[in-house]
Structure 1
C-alpha cells in the first residue's frame, strides 16, 4: 500500500443525524468520526471512492493513517468500519487520534510464512487466529506479525507465548495472564492418517 493511500482528505461536517448521513452516502461520501487524545470528537466526511480503494489493502486497518482535515494533518488509526450488508459500500468510519507519547490499543494481522515446508506430505496448517490484539507506542506499531511454521511438528500448536513480537509490542491477551495464552496455529496430519495409525495399532 502506497503512502498516498495512507493519506485521506476529510472535511468537517456540521450537518449531523441519520438523515444527514443518508444524504452524504447518496452523494458518494462517507460519514466518519475522529476522537481520542483527550480532544473533542469531530464529525467528518470522506470521499467514498478514496475509502473504497484504501480499505482493499490490509495495511489500511493497522497502519497509522494521515487525515488531511482542511489543511491540518492529523495522525490516526482506524478503529471501526461499517459496511453495507450486501452492497460494496462503506457506511461509516471511526478514527482514533494518535499521540506519539501514548500507547495505542489495536489489532494487527498475522502473516504465516514457510507453510510450503510445513505442508509437505499432505499436512495441513490450521490458522486459529488471523490477528493479534496489541498495545504499543505509535512509532512501534507493526503492519503485521510474522509467524514461521517451518519447524512446526505434526500435532503441535503455537501459542501467543511462542510468537516473537517486535520490541515494545505487548500482547493484550498475554498481559491478562497465562490462562489467556491463545492458540495461534496448529499443524495437522493428512486426513485419514490418524485412522490408519489406529488400525495398525489395533492389528498389532
Structure 2
C-alpha cells in the first residue's frame, strides 16, 4: 500500500514558531538521513491524521514530496498532544533503495478465537506486538502474521518461530540465540476465586 505525504519547507524554527504552525492547523516535522542535511518541513494536520489512521503509515516506506521534490522516508517518531487528538511533530528518516533500513513492523495474530487451545480454555498472552527488522526498503512488509492455530496450552512462540518474508531479518535474532524473545503464549485460564473455593469444599467433603 502506497502512502503519499506532501510537505512544505519552513525556515521559521523554534518552539514559538512550532506553536504558531500548530495554531494554523499545520504539523511541524524534520526529515533527515541518507547522508543529506536535515530539512524542517510542515504538513497539513488533516492530511497527517488521514495518513496515520492507516496502520501501514507506521511501518511502510512513505512517498514524500517536499516542494515538488520526491523522497522516500519511514516514520521514526511521532509526538502527540497530551489529551487532544492532534499530532504535534513527526520525525521522518530518508531511505535509500540500495541500503538496508532498521525499523519495527507490527504483528498480526491469526486464529485467536478459533484455535483449539483457546476453545479448550486456553488464554492467549501477547508478549510482543511488533518486531524490529532489517531489510532493504523494497522488502519491508506492512506487518508480519503469527498463526496460533497450531499452538497447544502451555506453548510459547518465539521470534525464531516467525515466518519472515524473503530478505527480512530479525534484529534481535542477529544478536544471538539469547535474544530469541517470546512473542505469544497460551496458558490455562485460572479458575475464579469462587470456583476454587467450591472445588476446595468438594475435596474437603470427599475426605470427610
Q: Show the 5 A alignment for 1:148-187.
A: 148-187=147-186
Q: Show the 5 A alignment for 1:1-204.
A: 3=2, 6-118=3-115, 119-192=118-191
Instruction: Give how far 1:162 is off.
Output: 0.9
Deviations 1:21-54 (A, max 9, x none): 0100000000000001100000000000110111
Deviations 1:54-85 (A, max 9, x none): 11221100111111111111111000000011
What TM-score results when the alignment is normalised by the length of structure 1? 0.91
* Aligned partner of residue 115 in structure 1, secondary structure: coil
| Segments ≥4 residues shifted beyond 6 Å | none
Distance in 2 of aligned mates of 1:54 and 1:96 = 17
What root-mean-square deviation, in Å, do the aligned CA atoms of Structure 1 and Structure 2 show? 2.2
Instruction: Give how far 1:190 is off.
Output: 2.5
Consecutive unaligned residues of structure 1, counting only runs of 5 or more, are: none
What TM-score results when the alignment is normalised by the length of structure 2? 0.90
Deviations 1:80-138 (A, max 9, x none): 00001111111100001110000011000000001123221232211110000000000
Distance in 1 of aligned mates of 2:9 and 2:85 = 24
Rg comparison, structure with higher value: 2
> How many residues align structurally?
199
